[in-house]
Amino acid sequence: MLNIIGLGLRGTKSITLESFEVMKSCDSVYFETYTSISPGSTMADLRNALGRKLLEAGRDFIESEKDIIDESRDTKVCLLVTGDPLSATTHNQLRLDAMKAGVEVRIFENSSIISVIPGVFGLMHYRFGPPVSIPFVSRSFFPTSVYDKIEKNISMDLHTLLLLDLKDGKTMPVQEAVRILEELERRRKGRILEPERDICVAIAVSQPGQRLVFGTMGSIKKSGVEGNPAALVLPSTLNDSEETFLNEFAERL
């Protein structure tokens, strides 16, 4: 049996009571470090909490899938995933492949940055368009489709959650993301990501170093604000309660 278990945003602290029992009863426990980022000590904390070895499923996660499925045929296996277990296609693919191999799959959901960020800023879920991912760019790779997606949300007066790409166990630095947004604006000659546009920065949400700030793109750049993991929100027009909440819950830069 394969149990795909979401850890939420706090490492071992946000394991649910039921998931913890399941983890303890498993024959082997894999910890997925490929699609998202956990608080720094999570691997060691999990090892202590469970009192046993953890198997890391990192960059080679896709390749180790076959092993995980094979093992799940006759034994009880856990795959631990930061955040919600089914937010990434990778995990639904594993779920499908395991089912096709005749393995029983159980899912244990948990909180996801996607649903948590709106609430902590006091912004309303029903005013968000689709989230947009900002990838690391290079001279030969600079996808302007990111701009189209942001533009669509803005044209519908919807807020946009910007998810930052991951590298070496960290999210893209906030300042690098802002520079990419500026460069998109230059290349597309649009008028949506100008220095006066407000942007919200969420750092280490739900973790000890949590920081929520907002300001114009210009002021966020000038402030040099950084931190990890980070995510951004481009708010559209705020309604009255959102305006009140954002001003009280986040720090204006």
Rounded to the nearest whole angstrom, what is the least distance from the CB of residue 224 to a second copy in the complex? 27
Q: Is 32 in the site for a second copy (CB under 8 A)?
A: no
Q: Is 192 in the site for a second copy (CB under 8 A)?
A: no
Rounded to the nearest whole angstrom, what is the least distance from the CB of residue 124 to a second copy in the complex? 7
Q: Is 199 in the site for a second copy (CB under 8 A)?
A: no
Q: Which residues pair with residue 5 across a beta bridge? A: 80, 108
For residue 154, which of 171, 131, 129 has the smallest C-alpha distance?
129
CA–CA separation, 174 vs 190, rounded Å?
A: 22
Interface residue with a second copy, options 33, 72, 111, 171 (CB under 8 A):
111
Nearer to a second copy, 153 or 220 (CB): 153
Nearer to a second copy, 1 or 195 (CB): 1
CA–CA separation, 3 vs 77, rounded Å?
A: 6
DSSP character string of 79-142: EEESB-TTSSHHHHHHHHHHHHTT--EEEE----HHHHHHHHHT--GGGB---EEE----SS--
Q: Is 229 in the site for a second copy (CB under 8 A)?
A: no
- The torsion angle over the Cα atoms of residues 152, 154, 158 and 161, rounded to 10 degrees, is 80
Which contiguous run of DSSP H or E holds residue 74?
Answer: helix 61-74
Q: Are 201 and 220 in contact (CB under 8 A)?
A: yes
Q: Is 8 in the site for a second copy (CB under 8 A)?
A: yes
Q: Is 36 in the site for a second copy (CB under 8 A)?
A: no
Nearer to a second copy, 109 or 182 (CB): 109
Q: Is 132 in the site for a second copy (CB under 8 A)?
A: yes
Nearer to a second copy, 15 or 174 (CB): 15
Q: Is 35 in the site for a second copy (CB under 8 A)?
A: no
Exposure string for 163-178, b = 16+ CB within 10 A, e = fewer: bbebeeeebbbbebbb
Q: Is 80 in the site for a second copy (CB under 8 A)?
A: no
Which residues in this chain contact a second copy in the complex, by CB under 8 A? 6, 8-10, 12-18, 20, 84-87, 89, 92-93, 95-96, 99-100, 107-112, 114-116, 118-120, 122, 124-133, 152, 156, 158, 206, 241, 244-245, 248-249
